[in-house]
Amino acid sequence: MNDEVVITGIGALTPVGNDRESSWEAMVAGRSGIAPITAFDTTGMGTRIAGEVKSFQPSDHFDTKRTRRISRFTAFAVVAAREAVADAKLSIDEDNRDRVAVVVNAGVAGFDTIEAATRQLVADREPSSYFVPYSLANMPSCEVAIDLGVHGPVNANVLACASGLYALMDARRLILSGEADVVVCGGTDAGITPVFMNGLSTMGALSRRNDDPVAASRPFDVDREGFVLAEGAVVMVLESAEHARRRGATPYATVSGAALTCDAFHVSAPSPSGEYATAAIRTAVRRAGVAPDDIDYVCAHGTSTKANDRTETKALRAALGAAVDRIPVSSPKSSVGHLVGGAGALGAMVCALAIRDGVVPPTINLNSPDPECDLDHVPNVARRLPVRTAMANAFGFGGQNCVVVFTAPDLP
């Protein structure tokens, strides 16, 4: 069909792997990337654990000049984009570079760069002349465009924890509107900094299970106490199905439908009714042209906070009805933590690879299910099953509810 948009390439940097396949293998195996923070001294902090990207050195990927200037969240995006483009076997040249767009979103954006510059000023040292542009939320998109040499539409949107998934929704629109043939899209963030973490901790949002970091992220478990902040990026190549067919690309999945709603309730808490999360799920399913009974897997937002997990369960039950009782609903945040701007894009990757491999990753650390989270959350062990239709949820601060439905591609 000429109105289909497909995923043909995926790149990733996560707390459990520095590429797509190692990250996926670790999540399916139920390994955790949560550990004590190494980036700075956490003495006296309430939360001293996070999901850091391990063994990542910008100098391994960029020349000396660029290494000095590039922010961590932007470096993640560029490296993940390179992997995605290589995976898609996409050649970019003078003939097509004006038809390639970029949408890479972030939630925290350049908080680390601003924090470092502030510390330099306090110490009477002059910050880098690049700290302003390299802290901007649109910089990952712009740097990816520079790195790839593309000149199509380049933009960025900030929807807190829904940012990365919304990038796919936006990319799909660009392709269906005819503005681009290909969109490099996804999410990135690197918010593991003293000020940002202390702010979240003061809100009561973070787990303080410092003595047992591997068990700290436990979505849907009765003993959960907050999410675990993480960093990383997931970037994908989306293109029209016809464009992919013409160049012989093999799709992972079709991006079949999407929806975005707003609770308009609170700056951080979800609406307890789950009414507009429910509406987003129902609308995305309808737009995808599928029914609740067609859904084989849901990659949950599943943050490991009391309010989110219960509200998401309520919304899924209201939107999908009796079908939800047979649908596996797992949260990869149990393994990798919360990538904020990258979280929704990671959920999209999980859906695409679940369709490819016929396996859904578990929700680890789920030992005592919360009675109010009464769905099949795939506790602790991955499950093999055919996945033809999968759905990803991403719910952000401010009540932004983004849902995307993926279906198995029609292969020749």
The catalytic residues are 161, 301, 338
The CA distance from 25 to 32, in Å, is 11
Indicate the angle between helix axes 275-288 and 306-320, nearest 10 degrees.
Answer: 50
> What is the phi/psi pair of residue 220, to 5°?
70, 0
CA atoms 27, 11, 346, 340: torsion sign: positive
Indicate the angle between helix axes 20-29 and 343-357, nearest 10 degrees.
Answer: 80
The CA distance from 239 to 6, in Å, is 6
Exposed e or buried b for every residue in 146-185, given b needs 16+ CB within 10 A? Answer: ebbebebbbebbbbbbbbbbbbbbbbbebbeeeebbbbbb
Q: What is the rounded radius of gyration, in angstroms, for the C-alpha atoms of the chain?
A: 20
Residue 325 token pair: 């009782």
